[in-house]
Structure 1
Amino acid sequence: MVGVRQFDEDEVIATALDVFWRKGLHDATMQDLAAATGVQRGSLYNAYGDKEAIFLRAFDRYTEQFLEVAGNALSHGDAAAGLRNFFDMIIVSMTNGSPQRGCLTTRTALDAAISSGDVRQRVQAVLSRLEQLIGKTISMAPGRRSTADANRLARVIVTFTRGLAVMERAGYSRKQLKESAATFIDAVTGNL
């Protein structure tokens, strides 16, 4: 039947997400996506338009999954425990795979300088939403002075996560990343 997709869209987007995570938006090609998904390039173009459109769908899926897992990690225990859970989660995520897959958001942020406004907006949106989740956790700590203070500290924490992602790409081990995160959390939670 004409116009009916002959592939499982959820599966294609999940597979495309893996390709983009390993190669990045700019290094992944439509041929890479076709080979990984088993869907011909022409069918991918017909279904989605172009590589960036596929990426945006995959990145949106990643964003929702990532923020859900991050929110769950942050919600367990007090603010310090939530931050420890959160950092453990992101470090494990970055260091999974062989080779390690790194952080999709950071990889995309680095590509965003040469990407479209839509890609840059998606990166900014996920980082902003992550700041909000962390700010909410911090603002619930006993003795927090203001939501504005919690939001500023949340931005610093999100900035530190990007630094961890760069250190992972530079070859730091999971153990070294966890040590850095523990030191950072101790410094931050001393003020909570």
Structure 2
Amino acid sequence: MVGVRQFDEQDVIANALDVFWRKGLHDATMQDLATATGVQRGSLYNAYGDKEAIFLHAFDQYAEEFLEAAGNALAEGGAADRLRNFFDVIVVNMTGGSPPRGCLTTRTALDAAISSTAVRQRVQGMLGRLERLISEAISSAPDRLPALGANRLARVVVTFTRGLAVMERAGYSRKQLKDVAAAFVVVLIGGAEA
């Protein structure tokens, strides 16, 4: 039937996301996407327009799922517990896959120098939403905050996650990343390491 997609869009976007995560926006090709999704290039062009449009769909889906997982991790306990749970989600997210796939947001931010304004805005928007989630979680924690304040502390935490992403790409293990994140929480919030 003309005008009706002959594929499962959620499957296509999930498979495209995997390609972008492994190769990056710049290095992924429409042929890579066609192969991974099982949908011919022409059909992908007809359905989405171009590679960047497919990426934006995939990134939006990723961002929603990631932010939900981050929000759940930040939901309970004191500020230090919330941050430790959050960092566990971050580290598992970037060390997942075989080989580990790294951090999609950081990979995209580094690709953004050669990408469009729309891609840069998506990355900035996602990082901004992550900052707000962290700020709200820290503000609503039952224990006392450092003098830095929730908003500034949240920006420091998000900035630190980008450093974790670089360390992961440099070959640090999941255990090493979790250890450094736990130490960061102690330095930031205080208290004993868990």
Structure 2 length-normalised TM: 0.94
Paired AA for residue 143 in structure 1: R
How big is the shift at 1:145? 7.5
TM alignment of 1:1-192, pairs within 5 A: 1-141=1-141, 142-144=143-145, 149-190=149-190
| Cα distance between partner residues in 1 of 2:38 and 2:155 | 40
Q: Which amino acid aligns with 2:28?
A: A
3-state SS of paired residue (2:172): coil
Q: Give the partner amino acid of 1:32.
A: D
Q: CA deviation at 1:137?
A: 1.4
Q: Which residue type is aligned with residue 35 of structure 2?
A: A
Give CA deviations for 1:22-41 in whole Å, capped at 9, x if unaligned.
Answer: 11000100000000000000
Contact 2:145–2:189 (8 Å) recurs in 1: no
Secondary structure of the residue aligned to 2:25 is coil
Cα drift, residue 139 of structure 1: 1.3
How big is each residue's C-alpha offset from its partner over 1:74-112, in whole Å with a ceiling of 9 and x where there is no partner?
Answer: 112111111101101110111111110000000001001
- Gap runs ≥5 in structure 2: none
Query: In the TM superposition, what whole-angstrom CA distance separates every residue of 1:34-75 from its partner, at most 9, and x where no partner exists?
Result: 000000000000000000000000000000000000000011
Counterpart residue identity of residue 184, structure 2: F
- Normalising by the residue count of structure 1, what TM-score does the alignment of the two structures yield? 0.95
The one-character-per-residue Cα deviations of 1:109-148 (angstroms, maximum 9, x if unpaired) are: 10011100000000000000000011111112333478x8
Counterpart residue type for residue 96 of structure 1: G
- CA RMSD, Structure 1 to Structure 2 (Å): 1.4
